[in-house]
Amino acid sequence: MKKFLYIIAAIIIFTNASYGKTMPKVDADKLYNMQTAYFDTADKKSVMQSAISVLYNSDYSIEDYNEDLGLIRAQKVFKAAYTSKKRVAGWSVVLAAATAYTVFSYGSTAAMMYSPTRRIATELKDKTVIIDANVFVEQIDENRVKVKFIPIEKVLQNADGFAFNQMAPMKVIRIYKPQPYKEFFAQVEANLER
């Protein structure tokens, strides 16, 4: 009996362990250049309004806006499919072990099957994804404004509403691909030219 419980505990510990991937090697200068753009204008306020307009059009809600500091904080919330195959496999093993133990105990431990079943169901549901974006606008000189755009994506683990994991980030993703940055800055520039 003790061996069985130790095996179940080990499986639970290993299935809940973080399966983090190593971060891609990105040169700091390259990342800075991706996240930063310069605009030839003397009007910092119009650049900030243009950035806010782009964020609104991209379904972000503005969380904080400080014109003096040149700071815009925005957030975008949506549901997306994100399933960790390792977690599903781990909880499936736990469910199989709990089911086998229930069969051999003539149903007296049937409650042990509830948690793995709920966790597998949670893992298969769409997750809430939040993209936090920070935009920094700075007047460099009389005719130039620098804009820095930093988005961070968070996959939340609250698909089933369990109290212990509600709003807990399951995965935090830094965006290292240049495409989102290029699109953002192109839209800001297009708004400025209007």
pLDDT at 129: 85
In this structure, of 24-28, 32-36, 65-69, 129-133, the range with the lowest mean pLDDT score is 24-28
Q: What is the pLDDT of residues 84-138, one digit of tens each?
A: 788 888 888 888 888 888 888 887 878 888 888 888 887 888 888 889 999 999 9
Q: Which residue has the higher pLDDT, 193 or 60?
A: 60
How large is the average pLDDT for residues 55-65? 92
Six-digit token string for 54: 């782009």
What gap in Å lies between CA 74 and CA 48, rounded to an integer?
A: 13
Q: What burial letters (b/e) apply to 37-61, b meaning 16+ CB within 10 Å?
A: bebeeeebeebbbbbbebbeeeebe
Which pLDDT band, with edges at 50, 70 and 90, does 174 fall under? confident
pLDDT exceeds 50 at position 35:
yes
pLDDT at 79: 85
Q: What is the pLDDT of residues 45-57, one digit of tens each?
A: 999 999 999 999 9
Q: Which residue has the higher pLDDT, 107 or 183?
A: 183
94, 11 Cβ separation under 8 angstroms: yes
156, 128 Cβ separation under 8 angstroms: yes
Instruction: List Cβ neighbours of 53 (8 Å cut-off, separation of 6 or more).
Output: 191
Q: What is the pLDDT of residues 14-24, one digit of tens each?
A: 655 545 555 56
pLDDT at 16: 56
Q: Which of 162, 174, 188, 156 is nearest to 36 (CA)?
A: 188
CA distance readout (Å), 66 to 2, 69, 87:
60, 6, 42
How large is the average pLDDT for residues 155-166? 56
pLDDT at 163: 43
**Mean pLDDT of the chain, nearest integer:** 82
CA distance readout (Å), 18 to 15, 26, 68, 87, 154:
8, 22, 41, 10, 15
Show the DSSP H helices in the chain as ranges: 2-16, 28-35, 44-57, 85-104, 114-124, 178-193
Task: Name the pairing type of β-strands 71-80 and 61-66.
Answer: antiparallel
What gap in Å lies between CA 28 and CA 171, rounded to an integer?
A: 22
pLDDT at 168: 66
Query: How many Å separate Cα 71 from the centre of its chain?
Result: 21
pLDDT at 164: 44
